[in-house]
Amino acid sequence: MKILLAASEVVPFAKTGGLADVAGALPLALEGLGEEVIIVLPRYKTISDSKFKIQRLKEDISYSVIGNKIKVYFIENDAYFNRDGLYGDKSGDYKDNLERFSYYSKRTLQLLKEINFSRPTVTMSGGIPPKAEKPDIIHVHDWQASLIPVYLKALYADEDFYRNIKTILTVHNIGYQGLFPKEEFPKLGLDWSLFNMEGLEFYGKINILKGGMEFCDIINTVSPTYSEEIQSKEFGFGLEGVLNKRRNSVFGILNGLDYSIWNPQTDKFIARNYSSQTIEDKYKNKEDLQRLCRLPIRIDVPLLGIVSRLAEQKGFDILAEAIESICKMELQLIILGTGDLKYHLILEEKAKKYPKVISLHLKFDDVLAHNIYAGSDIFLMPSKYEPCGLGQLISLRYGTMPLVFKTGGLADTVNKDNGFIFDKYTKEELIKTVKKATKAFENRERWKEMAIGAMQYNFSWEQAAKKYLQLYAKAKSQ
Ligand code: ADP
């Protein structure tokens, strides 16, 4: 199978969140299963020539290679992508995001005709290979790539080359839809007839994700529970109707975790490597983390870790209400994250008030993140909704018991045997569950057994990629 993966961020080139991890890992797993994959993403300012051994293909197209021979094509356009941020800066989203990602989507489709899939034969003068190979599947991710299925059907349907290419749209978080004012519609280069209920219109605005959902062959989300949840009013962010209409084409596949990066046995960032056989060594990491975070070095006190965007989605509304009560318990709490200013301020105030309990780090820091996963006893992730979630998968592998709200991917991966889970989204339930977890921590032998058990769970990309292959086959046979 020939698969093109289109995403606006891909590890190791550009990352703001979990999407990049998925878009970087799934192609490697598919290649491992013998499939042919290429990736297309915008060439952001941060993607440097020397770091990624980038080669030039055409004036506006360069490429790099990951895995064995996965070509990663970069679409270059200085006016759109040569900026510090991917989607915005301190003052918010870039004003021209519609144009930026519409350009990216169109150029991706055109590029297919100019290359020979994974064997670029294009000349600098732009000569088109005589019989360019094309993908069977275009797998697009989130709103930034959602115009690809729209353009494919609306602009290119009559061209022989594009016929029979199937599209799958993976929705990583339905809260981000790419909404723009109606007045910008002409910039898309689409006929106004598509600005309607069955097309890109959403309550008088343009909704790019909705366009993708209407035009793609299969809609997919990143966990089975989330695929059900988003068909309800509570979780659908207004798109539940579209999903209901297409419910026979809506699926959920749990993300895998890249165990070559997230493995306590080989992790280069942590003080002491360990496995389920040498779990005692995990506590060396706990001490090291307490030292690093300037907390009292105490092995007998449960250490709670958070690595997260500071946003309501991640549970910070109930956490902000509960934190005072939590700080009065016998525990320590390390928080790493950035996000809403509101939560920065609340957490700063609490960290000042409880310096022996809270260690606060308002930044993005990969190394510290690894140390928190390894050194903590409990990983706090009370997300209000969670499409899949990587934090709980990572913490399981590190023998750090996840404490989560029962939603989306958290409900699919955490249970009472491998963590702590509450099913009413209130500060009281959160406090109660933290209490329960700290109480359970007192039985050190039992705790160790639980941690060892948690480390056995396997959410590999190979498993996930096999399920994606089934989905691709389904799309192809339609
Ligand atoms: P999201 O909704 O933010 O994508 P996920 O749980 O799916 O949530 O993925 C978040 C990823 O980003 C995880 O790998 C997590 O460890 C990482 N991460 C989040 N915040 C930070 C931070 N401040 N520093 C380092 N890593 C972070």
CA dist list (Å): 216 to 134, 240, 249, 250: 17, 16, 10, 11
Q: Is 390 in the pocket of ligand 1 (CB under 6 A)?
A: yes
Ligand 1 centroid to Cα of residue 140, in Å, is: 21
- Please count the helices (runs of H) and the strands (runs of E) in the chain: 16, 20
Q: Which of 307, 310, 400 to mutate to test the pocket of ligand 1 (most atoms within 8 A of CB)?
A: 307
Q: Is 17 in the pocket of ligand 1 (CB under 6 A)?
A: yes
Number of Cα atoms under 13 Å in the Cβ half of residue 286? 23
Q: Tell me how crowded residue 287 is: count the other CB atoms within 10 A of its CB.
A: 16
Q: Which of 86, 340, 364 to mutate to test the pocket of ligand 1 (most atoms within 8 A of CB)?
A: 364
In the sheet that holds 205-207, the strands lie side by side as: 179-181, 205-207, 201-202
Q: What is the pLDDT of residue 225?
A: 98
d(CA 188, CA 46): 27
Contact 220, 228 (CB under 8 A): no
Q: What is the pLDDT of residue 120?
A: 63
**Protein residue whose Cα sits closest to atom 11 of ligand 1:** 18
Which of 251, 396, 389 has its CA nearest to residue 406? 389
Q: Is 369 in the pocket of ligand 1 (CB under 6 A)?
A: yes
The ligand 1 atom at the shortest distance from the C-alpha of residue 314 is 2
Show Cβ contacts of residue 438 under 8 Å, excluding neighbours closer than 6 positions: 302, 329, 330, 331, 378
**Protein residue whose Cα sits closest to atom 9 of ligand 1:** 18
**The model's pTM:** 0.91
Q: What is the pLDDT of residue 132?
A: 78
Q: How would you write the pLDDT of the chain (478 residues) with one tens digit per residue?
A: 999 999 999 999 999 888 999 999 999 999 999 999 999 999 999 999 989 999 999 999 999 999 999 999 999 999 999 999 999 998 999 999 999 999 999 999 999 999 888 676 555 555 555 567 999 999 999 999 999 999 999 999 899 999 999 999 999 999 999 999 999 999 999 999 999 999 999 999 999 999 999 999 999 999 999 999 999 999 999 999 999 999 999 999 999 998 988 999 999 999 999 999 999 999 999 999 999 999 999 999 999 999 999 999 999 999 999 999 999 999 999 999 999 999 999 999 999 999 999 999 999 999 999 999 999 999 999 999 999 999 999 999 999 999 999 999 999 999 999 999 999 999 999 999 999 999 999 999 999 999 999 999 999 999 999 999 999 999 999 8
d(CA 50, CA 62): 13
Which of 337, 418, 433, 336 has its CA nearest to residue 382? 433
Q: What is the pLDDT of residue 258?
A: 87
Contact 466, 253 (CB under 8 A): no
Contact 43, 59 (CB under 8 A): no
Q: What is the pLDDT of residue 24?
A: 95
**Protein residue whose Cα sits closest to atom 3 of ligand 1:** 17
Residue 265, both tokens: 């046995």
Show Cβ contacts of residue 391 under 8 Å, excluding neighbours closer than 6 positions: 307, 308, 379, 381, 402
Q: Is 18 in the pocket of ligand 1 (CB under 6 A)?
A: yes
Q: Is 371 in the pocket of ligand 1 (CB under 6 A)?
A: no
d(CA 304, CA 300): 13
Q: Is 311 in the pocket of ligand 1 (CB under 6 A)?
A: no
Ligand 1 centroid to Cα of residue 306, in Å, is: 10
d(CA 401, CA 303): 11
Q: Which of 9, 269, 308, 407 to mutate to test the pocket of ligand 1 (most atoms within 8 A of CB)?
A: 308
